Amino acid sequence: MRGALALLAFLVVLAGGLLLVQWGHQEGAFPGRLSPRQVGQEPDASRAPRPLPADQASETVPGAGTPSSASPGLESPAAVQVPAPRLPEAQTAGDARGRAVELTREGIELLRKGQGREAVTRFAEAVSLVPDEPILRRNLGLAYARAGEDADAIRELERYSGQGQEPEVFRVLGELYERQQNPRAALGHYRTYLQRVPDAQGVRARVARLEREQQTEAEFQRATSRLFRVKYEGAANERAAYVVLSLLEEAASRVGLRLGQHPRREIEVVLYSNQQFRDVTRAPAWMRAIYDGKVRLPIQGLAGQEGLLRRVVTHEYVHVLLVQVAGLRLPTWFHEGVAQLEEGAQEDQGALVAAHRGGTLAPLRQLEGPFAELDARAAELAYQQSLAVVRFLVTRQAPGVLPDLLAEVARGAALDDALQRRAGVGTAELDARWRASLGGSGG
């Protein structure tokens, strides 16, 4: 019995680190940008794309959230039927705890493989065997969060947090409630977390943003459809809100046909004046929109430019969809490449060829994280490279591969593994083949 308890304690620590790392800040911030070529100016260092740090973002999201029952043609991410096994009559309490240890180990291994939904079943069975062990509920709650099953995650983590343990669980609960559009509950959990970890500047920034958001949006009205909620201020912006709503529905239909994926849950879009957008997001002046769990869009200057507005809306919608499908498991180059492809952007092939011949193209592996770490010219090139690589993937390497690729990722596969199975190449080989297609010799 003591051996099983000791091993369980060790596995709990291991599972805790793995689950929190894999959940950790599942919601990224994806900025919409205006290419310097679009606005007729050279890039400068002050205009480099700078996504918010992940711990200042708000959805998650991380993964697919509660699915919409109206989403067609989807295997619901919440459709895992967690079995409720019964203990054999002859099994003792010690046997049950030992089996919980085995199930915890299996769940950890499944998480390592990216099989979050399968891990949920193991952790759920462990809880059924030893229901009075708090740490098992904590593991189950974090696994639910990893799988995008928010309501179940909140239920289990609230039970665990009620015992006053582990500050990080309060942070995760704050993120979950924020992504469920419950800012009051989110603020409560973030503030509890800050009482225990007062120097957590990322969470403190979230609290400040939520407070600014609540103040700014207190009098906002709503336009809604089956999949979307658009918030706006005043009668003057009502027409713009319904234009955006129509463009979102159009994007969902068009992108759904092309990518084979549809929203798992309602998507919120907030329309601001330019000043409100800066006040709430603290975004730099070059940013045209941002997705941080909500699509935030400064509508001034766009209302009369439906073509540009359609591109911006489509781009941000794709970010939302990919986050709902895969959380933050997809690299930035893939996110930005697919988003630009779907909005109808075109890469500057001449600039890419010149960069290739000059040896200034970054390896694709270096474009997996935020582009904010790059200087302005390198960031602009990274966007171009991302679009070009994704276009090469879907037109020359494996035409029409995106739906199958995303279906595998939605089931928990890593992108590199899905690429190997569906396109016959991993990331490194895809990068090499794309570079070869440019001709010449890279430095």
pLDDT, residue 442, reads: 58
pLDDT, residue 401, reads: 96
Q: Mapping DSSP to helix (H, G, I), strand (E, B) and coil, where does residue 83 land?
A: coil
Distance CA 26, CA 142 (A): 12
Q: Where in the chain is the domain with CATH 3.40.30.160?
A: 221-317
Distance CA 11, CA 4 (A): 10
In the chain, the amino acid numbered 209 is R
Q: Provide the sign of the torsion angle of the four alpha carbons 234, 235, 240, 246, taken in this order.
A: positive
Give the CATH number of domain 2-26+61-207.
1.25.40.10
Q: Using DSSP bridges, classify how beta strands 228-232 and 295-298 pair: parallel, antiparallel or unpaired.
A: unpaired
Buried-exposed string 44-75: b where 16+ CB fall within 10 A, e elsewhere: eeebbbbbbebbbbbbbbbbbbbbbeebeebe
Q: Provide the sign of the torsion angle of the four alpha carbons 399, 404, 406, 412, taken in this order.
A: negative
Q: Which residues contact 389 (CB under 8 A, 6 or more apart)?
A: 333, 337, 364, 430, 431, 434
Distance CA 163, CA 138 (A): 11
* Six token digits for residue 215: 């103040």
Distance CA 25, CA 51 (A): 14
Tens place of pLDDT for every residue, the chain, 443 residues? 444 444 444 444 444 554 543 333 334 567 665 443 333 333 333 333 333 233 333 332 222 222 222 222 222 222 222 222 222 333 445 688 889 989 998 998 888 777 778 889 999 999 999 998 888 988 999 888 887 788 999 999 998 887 766 888 999 999 999 888 888 999 999 999 999 999 999 899 999 989 998 888 888 999 999 999 999 998 888 999 999 999 999 999 999 999 999 998 899 999 999 889 988 988 766 677 888 888 999 987 776 788 999 999 999 999 999 999 988 789 999 999 999 999 999 999 999 999 999 999 999 999 998 776 666 778 889 999 999 999 999 999 999 999 999 999 988 889 999 999 999 999 999 999 999 999 865 55
Write the DSSP symbol of residue 268: E
Do 125 and 87 form a contact (C-beta atoms < 8 A)? no
What architecture does CATH give domain 221-317?
Answer: 3-Layer(aba) Sandwich (3.40)
Distance CA 228, CA 267 (A): 5
Q: Where in the chain is the domain with CATH 1.25.40.10?
A: 2-26+61-207
DSSP 383-410: HHHHHHHHHHIIIIISTT-HHHHHHHHH
